[in-house]
Amino acid sequence: MFEILKAGGWGMVPILVCSAIGLAIVLERFWTLRRSAVLPPGLGEQVRGWAHSQQLNTAHIEALRENSPLGELLAAALSVRNRSRAEIKERIEDTGRHVVHGLERYLNTLGTIALIGPLLGLLGTVLGLIRMFLAVMVSGVGDPMKMAGGIGEALVCTASGLVVAIPAYILHRYFRSKVRGYVVQMEKQATALLDELSAVRPAPVDTRAAAAPVTARPARVAG
């Protein structure tokens, strides 16, 4: 294997760097995007139980915010639970954008590696062909070993670029699809909590009607 990589020449250096970065991103995303870490089972039902019993305090909300991405989203709704439904929904949407950004971390880099992998392989191919033509110019076509070296360098770089790019592209699509699925589930849980908060909030009192003075009507005198 080392001999094959060595045959690729200097064009293999950026390809190997990209492969190392891509592998690190894939391992990190597999660990971070575990379902149990993003959507802890039973968390939505537990939080709705807290909201229904109205037993919420700052410590509960802060612990929930540090629990998981879903917990961060639900904690944002609970932190403004005494406001109107429209304000709670707006806070959920604002927090949701930050949560999704965190779930998609490093995916743009992985997509970039998938895009430039074939280009780096093509660059190595061009360098190998240039090396071959220079060898032909110096010693002519009588030395096939020098020509084989350039051709081998070109083919190794092309294959290596594709080997890096194809898995990176597949995994990039996989992680993006996984994040979209998580977002749908978090939206469902946030909507259910929003409905629960709206249900337990006491009905507003018409202060104008309560403050209006009550005037007694004069009794009718029978004629």
pTM: 0.78
The three-point CA angle 69-30-21 to 5° equals: 115
Domain boundaries, the chain: 2-201
The three-point CA angle 185-72-86 to 5° equals: 75
The single residue listed with the structure tokens 């609970």 is 78
What gap in Å lies between CA 121 and CA 136, rounded to an integer? 23
List per-residue pLDDT tens for the chain, 223 residues long. 566 556 656 778 888 899 999 999 999 999 999 999 999 999 989 888 888 887 777 888 888 899 899 999 999 999 888 888 889 899 999 999 999 999 999 999 999 999 999 998 888 888 777 777 776 676 665 556 656 666 777 788 888 889 999 999 999 999 999 999 999 999 999 999 998 888 765 544 444 444 444 444 444 444 3
What gap in Å lies between CA 153 and CA 157, rounded to an integer? 6
What gap in Å lies between CA 80 and CA 174, rounded to an integer? 35
Which of 70, 73, 74 lies closest to 49 in space, CA to CA? Answer: 74
